[in-house]
Amino acid sequence: MENIAVVFGGRSVEHEVSVITGMQIMENMDKSKYNPIPLYITKEGKFLSGDVLKDFTTFKENDFSKAVEVFFKGYNEDFNLYTVSSKKGGLFGKDSRDVEVFAKVDVVFPALHGTYGEDGCFQGLLELMSVPYVGCGVTPAGVGMDKVIMKKVFQSEDIPMTEYFYFYRDEWKEQEKIIEKAEKIGYSLFVKPANLGSSVGISKAKNKEEFIEAVEVAIRYDRKILVEKAVENPREINIAVMGYENDLVVSACEEPVGWKDLLKYEDKYVAGPKGSKGMKGQKKNLPANISDTVREEIEKYAKLAFRAIDAMGDARIDFLLEGDTVYVNEINTLPGSLAFYLWEESGISFKELITRLIELSKVRYEQKAENITSYDSNLYKNTSYGAKL
């Protein structure tokens, strides 16, 4: 049986959402194959583990007294989680502190939403240790998180999007220049922090006053701000893609219904009907009521968007539909969206989805192991550098 470290929480405004995702992954993992090890990162950045973190009551009551503080050493191919144990009555009667292995990890399953997790930061640590992990690598995760860079990559692949521009927080000191750019595109506009998810900090602006207010909100969350032309009365269509490189499969399409302008954080995550799937039991047509032609176009651009950022594992791609005109809105990489309910509609259970994602992580790990990472040369002997030191 393999030990799968499920990492959740983190230093992000999406901390609580991440905890729920981590819980869902551990609960639905195939226990005949895998032993889930919770690895909770507190809002302060501490790493905690222990079976108590498999119980959601621990988080509701905010009581982590029975959890164990753990850490990675960061060594190449050191797959262990460590902890420091305290022993009383050691040499000369003094207490001693020893570093010992807490658990061996076979694969890491990141469930960190938002900054310092979904953006590739945590994946960088795993790359340094050469530990297999689920989901996108460092660069694809960063591109998927940064909506501006994402759009630039999509542009290079001729993926259809609405008109947009971006600016940095310091540029807002000259408001009129930014407002002029916005009004050149024309209201209505969406104003978004470039590097957040879960609709945090996003507003729709229908005039100059609302635009100023929207920017003032967004710049509190990020230094880079994205401004997009809004599609009036759009239909939102979502689809998931799973796989790696050219071996890709797509899920059923869904259409959230009953929303207006923007699904906010509370709409997505505040508890809805018991047993509901997806966002707060959000009303949806699943599968979406669209023509075969539109569905095929969405599937084509979904795969293209996935490949364009070199994604791995699972991702949900959100589209806007204006009549029969398709626009890609954004890609939500793991763990921003497991989209398990889309896969269930396609005949893949949540348990099977998790298994497939773990198996995919090993494919990338084996591919990367084939890369040369060391090159022997006589550079030190042949260079004149250091001769006078």
Point out the residues that are catalytic: 14, 198, 337
Is 147 part of any known ligand binding site?
A: yes
DSSP collapsed to 3 states, the chain:
CEEEEEEEECCCCCHHHHHHHHHHHHHHCCCCCEEEEEEEECCCCCEEECHHHHCHHHHHCCCCCCCEEEECCCCCCCCEEEEEEEECCCHHHCCEEEEEEEEECCEEEECCCCCCCCCCHHHHHHHHHCCCECCCCHHHHHHHHCHHHHHHHHHHCCCCCCCEEEEEHHHHHCHHHHHHHHHHHCCCEEEEECCCCCCCCCEEECCHHHHHHHHHHHCCCCCEEEEEECCCCCEEEEEEEEEECCEEEECCCEEECCCCCCCCHHHHHCCCCCCCCCCCCCCEECCCCCCHHHHHHHHHHHHHHHHHCCCEEEEEEEEEEECCEEEEEEEEECCCCCCHHHHHHCCCCHHHHHHHHHHHHHHHHHHHHCCCCCCCCCHHHHCCCCCCC
Is 332 part of any known ligand binding site?
A: yes
| Cα dihedral sign, 275-277-278-281 | negative
Is 210 part of any known ligand binding site?
A: no
Is 44 part of any known ligand binding site?
A: no
Is 96 part of any known ligand binding site?
A: no
Is 176 part of any known ligand binding site?
A: no
Is 377 part of any known ligand binding site?
A: no
Is 232 part of any known ligand binding site?
A: yes
Is 18 part of any known ligand binding site?
A: no
Is 233 part of any known ligand binding site?
A: yes
Is 318 part of any known ligand binding site?
A: yes
Is 280 part of any known ligand binding site?
A: no
Is 229 part of any known ligand binding site?
A: yes
Is 329 part of any known ligand binding site?
A: yes
Is 238 part of any known ligand binding site?
A: no
Burial class (CB in 10 A: 0-12, 13-18, 19+), 130: middle
Backbone angles phi, psi at 292, to 5 degrees: -60, -35
Instruction: Give the annotated binding-site residues.
Output: 147, 190-192, 198-199, 228-236, 318, 329-330, 332
Q: Which residues are annotated as a binding site for Mg(2+)?
A: 318, 330, 332
Annotation: binding site for ATP: 147, 190-192, 198-199, 228-236, 329-330
